[in-house]
Amino acid sequence: MKKFLRRFKLNILIYLVKILTDNEEIIQIIDKLFESGKTKDFSCLKEIHLNDTKFSSFSDLPPYDLKDFQTTIELEELKFVSISDYDYQIKNPKISVFGDTAVVAMEINQKGMLVDTKAYTGEHISMKGRATFVLVKQPTWKIVHIHLSKINS
């Protein structure tokens, strides 16, 4: 019986470590997306999104239609290039892992200077929003769906 309990405790510990590791990897993937807005290094975007016809996204900025992988990458780059001094804060992330699928719901605050390079003007922006991400593990975690929405204040 002691041997069984010891093995049972060890299996639970291994399971908990795996959950923590998955959660850490998942939040790092989402962090990479928003960090690319700060660094303007977009090389990771194609690595963290699943390049597949199953990929989809809704944005908090126009156009609001459902987008595919390539359009999402292009619009993320355009958004982040257009905002200087970009910063963000992820708040209250809830990560739910279901085997090789994960759902992340969170609040996100974004701010920066929206730059109009033709008119040489800028406008401070601050957006509060909500985000839902769906990720799949193939073999590493990849974003397969994004839904961003603004909270009107």
- CATH code for the structural domain at 2-150: 3.10.450.50
How do the domains of the chain map onto residue ranges? 2-150
Is residue 51 scored above 90 in pLDDT? yes
Q: What are phi and psi of 111, to 5 degrees?
A: -150, 165
Whether pTM > 0.75 for this model: the answer is: yes
CA distance linking residue 113 with residue 123, whole number of Å: 5
Q: How much is the pLDDT for 118?
A: 74
Which residue stretches of the chain are H helix? 2-39, 45-48, 69-82
> What integer is the mean pLDDT of 8-29?
72
Q: Which of 29, 117, 122, 37 is nearest to 77 (CA)?
A: 37
pLDDT at 80 over 60: yes
Phi, psi of 140 (to 5 degrees): -100, 165
Rounded CA-CA distance 104/67 in Å is: 19
From CA 15, how far away is CA 27, in angstroms rounded? Answer: 19
Contacts of 6 by beta carbon, 8 Å cutoff, 6+ apart: none
Mean pLDDT of the chain: 90
Query: Are the C-beta atoms of 70 and 32 separated by less than 8 Å?
Result: no
